[in-house]
């Protein structure tokens, strides 16, 4: 990055920025947006492939990913440049951004169509490229199934995840498949022996040293503690709850909720108050949108913020028939339940 900035090497900055912001909804490294913007500035107008890829990554990088109008414009520009280049890899990256923001609760059929397009583009790619896409594909299909409350589709998606992991023989993907099965047990309330299995899973995660492990571990243990009795030998999780400048909406919201769950209400309240209730209307309706709103609903009720609670009630109201889930694969329950808790906090007893 330093060399790229010093000499104006746009392609080097573009590659670095993409590594710092791996995929939509995933954790990004500090400074990713700045590097991507430097790449966009340094790249010549006719270098279509890296320019299109940089714009796609900018779309899912904070703070852009908090504003639907901004992300929409970036994704449209990215796809236009990618298609003008005719490069399959560039088109696939642009569609990866497009699917993330289209795969919300409003248009599942559009999202499935885009998923099929990307699958065709990646079909003949080398294993390492297919590995990256397969992780996004399988996570997205599990989240979509959880959101609809269809247990059969969830099970099928997890089985497909396992098949992809075995085919590609990649330890991290195999770890994530194993974790998907454990989290599915949590979602179904099957807690017998689960703490021990979760501890073994996380021990293996420590050995693999993969990206974002500490955040994943924090989510799993806090959710388990919230749903069960205290667990002996509870691992340290504080590092996984620290807000980062690169947090996308669902990561920001889930961290605030987990902060409430562990009793640090003042910290969560202060972070919530930094975003005015009106800004929530601008959030993209992405794959993790409902979970983002549900997490914020819990925080707004705990923090006694009537303004945020009222805004969230209005945003969640059209989705009372769905369930809240996000990239963590934890299902947080029905939207109807959270509408009820919001209504109660607002004094709307009829609702």
Rounded distance between C-alpha atoms, residue 282 and residue 101, angstroms: 13
Over range 166-189, report the average pLDDT: 89
Among the listed ranges 22-26, 129-133, 292-296, which one has the minimum average pLDDT value?
129-133
pLDDT in tens, 277-313: 999 999 999 999 999 999 999 999 999 999 999 999 9
Q: Per-residue pLDDT averaged across 163-168, rounded?
A: 81
Which tokens belong to 284? 């993209």
The angle at the Cα of 180, spanning 258 to 152, to the nearest 5 degrees, equals 115
pTM over 0.85: yes
Q: What is the reported pLDDT for 231?
A: 47
Poorest-pLDDT segment among 14-23, 40-49, 138-147: 138-147
Give phi and psi for 332, each to the nearest 5.
-95, 5
More reliable by pLDDT, 100 or 240: 100
Degrees (nearest 5) of the Cα angle 119, 123, 127? 115
Beta strands in the chain (DSSP E): 323-325, 331-334
User: What are the pLDDT digits (tens) for 136-162?
Assistant: 777 888 999 999 998 999 999 899 888
What percent of the chain has a predicted confidence (pLDDT) above 70?
92
pLDDT at 341 over 90: yes
Length of the chain equals: 351
Cα–Cα distance for residue pair 324/322, rounded to 1 Å = 7
Categorize the per-residue pLDDT at 126 as very low, low, confident or very high, splitting at 50, 70 and 90. low
The answer to whether the beta carbons of residues 246 and 21 sit under 8 Å apart is yes
The predicted model gives 344-349 an average pLDDT of 93
- Per-residue tokens: 136: 């996004």
**What separation, in Å, do the N-terminal and C-terminal C-alpha atoms of the chain show?**
54
Token pair in block for residue 187: 């979602």
Q: Is the pLDDT of residue 210 over 50?
A: yes
Quick one: which of 24, 55, 60, 63 has its CA closest to 37?
55
Top-ranked range on mean pLDDT: pick from 120-129, 132-141, 229-238, 249-258: 249-258
pLDDT number for residue 264: 86
Render pLDDT for 219-241 as a digit per residue (tens, 0 to 9): 898 888 888 765 454 555 555 67
Tokens of 295: 């997490």
Of 85, 88, 148, 81, nearest to 112 by C-alpha is 148
User: Which segments of the chain does DSSP mark as H helices, in order?
Assistant: 2-7, 10-20, 32-42, 48-59, 68-85, 88-102, 108-122, 127-148, 151-168, 171-187, 194-208, 213-227, 249-261, 265-273, 289-302, 306-316, 335-345
**Short-list 1, 87, 67, CA closest to 285:** 67
């Amino acid at each position: 990055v330093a060399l790229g900035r010093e000499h104006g090497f746009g392609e080097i900055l573009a590659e670095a920025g993409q590594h710092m912001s791996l995929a939509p909804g995933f954790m990004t490294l500090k400074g990713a947006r700045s590097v991507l913007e430097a790449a966009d500035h340094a790249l010549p107008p006719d270098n279509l492939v890296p320019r299109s890829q940089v714009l796609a990554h900018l779309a899912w990088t904070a703070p852009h990913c908090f504003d639907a109008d901004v992300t929409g414009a970036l994704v449209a520009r990215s796809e236009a440049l990618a298609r003008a280049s005719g490069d399959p890899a560039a088109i696939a990256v642009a569609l990866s951004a497009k699917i993330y923001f289209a795969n919300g609760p409003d248009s599942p059929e559009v999202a499935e169509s885009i998923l099929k397009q990307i699958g065709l583009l990646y079909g003949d790619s080398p294993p390492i490229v297919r590995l990256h896409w397969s992780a996004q594909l399988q996570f997205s299909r599990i989240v979509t199934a959880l959101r609809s409350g269809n247990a059969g589709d969830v099970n099928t998606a997890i089985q497909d995840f396992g098949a992809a992991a075995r085919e590609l023989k990649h330890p991290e993907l195999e770890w994530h498949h194993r974790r998907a099965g454990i989290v599915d047990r949590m979602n179904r309330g099957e807690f017998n022996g689960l703490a021990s299995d979760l501890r073994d899973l996380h021990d293996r995660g420590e050995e693999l040293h993969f990206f974002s492990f500490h955040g994943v571990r924090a989510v799993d243990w806090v959710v388990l503690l919230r749903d069960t009795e205290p667990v002996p030998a509870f691992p340290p999780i504080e590092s996984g709850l620290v807000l980062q400048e690169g947090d996308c909406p669902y990561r920001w919201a889930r961290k605030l909720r987990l902060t409430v769950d562990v009793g640090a209400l003042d910290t969560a309240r202060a972070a919530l108050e930094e975003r005015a209730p009106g800004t929530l209307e601008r959030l993209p309706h992405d794959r993790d949108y409902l979970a983002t709103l549900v997490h914020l609903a819990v925080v707004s009720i705990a923090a006694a913020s009537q303004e945020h609670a009222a805004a969230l009630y209005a945003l969640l109201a059209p989705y009372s028939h769905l369930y809240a889930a996000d990239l963590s694969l934890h299902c947080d329950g029905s939207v109807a339940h959270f509408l009820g808790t919001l209504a109660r906090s607002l004094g709307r007893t009829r609702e």
